[in-house]
Amino acid sequence: MDDGTEDSAVQDFLQILEEHRKNCERQGKYVEAEIAKNRLEELKLHEENRRKEAMRSRQIAERLGVEEAHMLEFQQFNIVWDKKMAQYEQHADELVEAMQVRGAAARPPPPLPRASSALTPPPPPCCHCPYVT
């Protein structure tokens, strides 16, 4: 029995019970009318609780579906991100290698070491310099 048929059956039963209560009141059967009224209120409360629980179940199912879809989307994003990062790192490595190759080919040989002035003795004084003492 699906929800639509069940709802219809419950509503039909509630309507029949309400008509029975009204008939009992018209016939002066007040005790039976009171029993029908109490049963009607009890059934309405039960039906309201059943509907709330059904709605809660639907909301939980919907939320789980949304969470599952979100996780799937997140996994797909991570897969794409990992591929892009691997491509980026590979490209960066290729660029570094190319720069090293070009740099080694274009770089002149290092200059020969020169003697430091602190390590070389000063030149001998010349006699015709007026500033030398």
pLDDT averaged over the chain? 86
Report if residue 87 sits inside a domain.
yes
Report if residue 86 sits inside a domain.
yes
Secondary structure class of 29 (helix, strand, coil): coil
Q: How many domains does the chain have?
A: 1
Report if residue 46 sits inside a domain.
yes
Q: CA of 70: how far to CAs of 48, 56, 65, 73, in Å?
A: 33, 21, 9, 5
Name the residue among 43, 1, 48 with its Cα closest to residue 20: 43
| Mean pLDDT score, 111-119 | 70
Q: CA of 23: how far to CAs of 6, 7, 29, 39, 112, in Å?
A: 26, 24, 8, 15, 121
Report if residue 79 sits inside a domain.
yes
Report if residue 113 sits inside a domain.
no
Q: Which domain holds residue 32?
A: 8-106
Structure tokens at 71: 């996780």
Quote the pLDDT of residue 80.
98
pLDDT tens-digit readout, 37-79: 999 999 899 999 999 999 999 999 999 999 999 999 999 999 9
Report if residue 121 sits inside a domain.
no
61 vs 115, residue with greater confidence:
61
| Mean pLDDT score, 122-126 | 67
Q: Are 30 and 24 in contact (CB under 8 A)?
A: yes
Structure tokens at 77: 């994003």
- Sequence letter at residue 122: P
pLDDT of 12 above 80:
yes
Quote the pLDDT of residue 27.
92
Report if residue 92 sits inside a domain.
yes
pLDDT of 2 above 80:
no
| Mean pLDDT score, 5-10 | 81
CA–CA distance, 36 with 22 (Å, rounded to integer): 9
